[in-house]
C-alpha cells in the first residue's frame, strides 16, 4: 500500500511540474512572465532566481574570479560554486541551453 501511495505522489508531482512548464510556455511577454512569477513566487525566491541567473551570465563571460562574481552578483561564494558546477558538470545543461540561445540572439 505504501509503495502505491508513494508512486502516486511521485506521479502527481511530475504531472504538476509538467503543468507548471505548460503555464510558463503559455506566457508571451516579459510583463506576463512578471505577473505570473510575482503571483507564484515570494520576493525572496525571485531574487534568488535572478541572482543565480546573474551568476551564470558572469561565469559564462569567463573574465572574473568566483570571488569577483560573488561580489558583483551579490551572491554567496557557495552559490557561485553551485552554479559553476551546474554549468560544467550537470546533465541537464539548462543554464548552457539558455545562455547559448540568448547569445545567438545578440
User: What is the C-alpha separation between 2 and 14, in angstroms, rounded?
Assistant: 18
pTM of the model: 0.85
Q: How would residue 106 be classed by pLDDT, with cut points 50, 70 and 90?
A: low
Summarised one tens digit per residue, pLDDT across range 48-62 is: 999 999 999 999 999
Q: Inform me whether the pLDDT recorded for 1 exceeds 60.
A: no
Same domain, 75 and 87: yes
Same domain, 72 and 90: yes
Cα distances (Å, whole numbers) of residue 82 to 47, 86, 96: 16, 6, 14
Same domain, 103 and 54: yes
Same domain, 97 and 66: yes
Same domain, 71 and 86: yes
If we measure between CA atoms, which residue out of 86, 23, 22 comes closest to residue 53? Answer: 86
Q: Are 51 and 73 in contact (CB under 8 A)?
A: yes
Say what the pLDDT of residue 26 is: 98
Q: Could you tell me the residue range of the domain that residue 70 belongs to? A: 43-106
Q: How many CB atoms lie within 10 A of CB 97?
A: 10
Summarised one tens digit per residue, pLDDT across range 6-27 is: 888 888 899 999 999 999 999 9
Number of domains in the chain: 2
Amino acid at each position: 500500500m505504501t509503495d502505491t501511495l508513494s508512486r502516486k505522489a511521485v506521479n502527481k508531482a511530475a504531472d504538476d511540474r509538467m503543468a507548471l512548464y505548460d503555464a510558463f510556455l503559455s506566457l508571451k511577454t516579459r510583463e506576463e512572465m512578471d505577473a505570473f512569477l510575482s503571483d507564484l513566487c515570494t520576493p525572496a525566491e525571485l531574487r534568488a532566481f535572478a541572482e543565480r541567473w546573474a551568476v551564470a551570465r558572469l561565469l559564462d563571460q569567463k573574465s572574473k574570479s568566483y570571488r569577483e562574481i560573488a561580489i558583483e552578483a551579490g551572491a554567496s561564494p557557495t552559490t557561485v560554486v553551485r552554479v559553476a558546477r551546474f554549468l560544467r558538470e550537470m546533465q541537464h545543461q539548462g543554464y548552457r541551453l539558455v545562455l547559448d540561445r540568448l547569445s545567438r540572439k545578440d
